[in-house]
Structure 1
Amino acid sequence: MRAAEEKGPQSPDHVEARLAGRLAELRVERGWSLDEVAQQTGVSRSTLSRLEHAQISPTAAVLGKLCGAYGRTMSQLLAEVESEPPQLVRSNRQLVWRDEEAGFTRRSVSPPHPGLKGEILEGFLRPGADIPYDRPPVPGLEQHIWILDGTLQVTVDGDAHELQAGDCLRFRLYGPTRFRNPGPDPVRYTIMIILP
Structure 2
Amino acid sequence: MREDPEGALDPVDVLLAARLAELRGERGWSLEELARRSGVSRSTLSRAERGEISPTASLLGRLCAEYGRTMSQLLSEVEAEPAQLVRADAQTVWKDTASGFVRRSVSPPQPGLRAEVVEGTLRAGADVSYERPPVPGMEQHIWVLEGSVEFTVGREQHTLYAGDCLRMRLWGPTRFRCPGPEPVRYAVVVVQS
1:151 partner amino acid: S
The residue type equivalent to 2:95 in the other structure is R
Query: Structure 1 residue 12: deviation in Å?
Result: 6.4
1:12 to 1:97, Cα distance in 2 relative to 1, 3 A: farther
CA distance in 1, matches of 2:9, 2:84: 23
CA distance in 2, matches of 1:144, 1:190: 8
Matches within 5 A, 1:24-173: 24-173=21-170
Q: Deviations over 1:78-130 (max 9, x none)?
A: 00000111111111110000001100001000000010110000000001111
Q: 1:7 maps to what in 2?
A: none
Question: Partner of 2:5 in structure 1?
Answer: none
Is 1:190 matched with 2:187? Answer: yes
Instruction: Give unmatched runs, 5+ long, in structure 2.
Output: 1-7
| Matches of 1:88 and 1:41, distance apart in 2 | 36
Q: 1:12 to 1:125 in 2, by over 3 A?
A: farther
Task: Compute the RMSD of aligned alpha carbons.
Answer: 1.0
Rounded Cα–Cα distance in structure 1 between residues aligned with 2:86 and 2:44: 33
TM-score (norm 1): 0.93
TM-score, normalization by structure 2: 0.94
Q: Secondary structure at the match of 2:10?
A: helix
User: Could you report, residue by residue, the CA deviation over 1:45-95 in whole angstroms, capped at 9, with x for unpaired residues?
Assistant: 011011001111000100100000100000000000001111111111100
Matching residue's letter, 1:14:
P
Of residues 1, 11, 15 in structure 2, which corresponds to 1:14? 11
Give a deviation string over 1:115-170, Cα, whole Å, max 9, x none: 01100000000011111100000011100000011110000121100001000000
CA distance in structure 2 between the aligned counterparts of 1:61 and 1:27, rounded to whole angstroms: 18
Aligned residues: percent identity? Answer: 63
Q: Distance in 2 between matches of 1:100 and 1:168?
A: 26
Point out where structure 1 has 5 or more consecutive residues left out of the alignment. Answer: 1-10
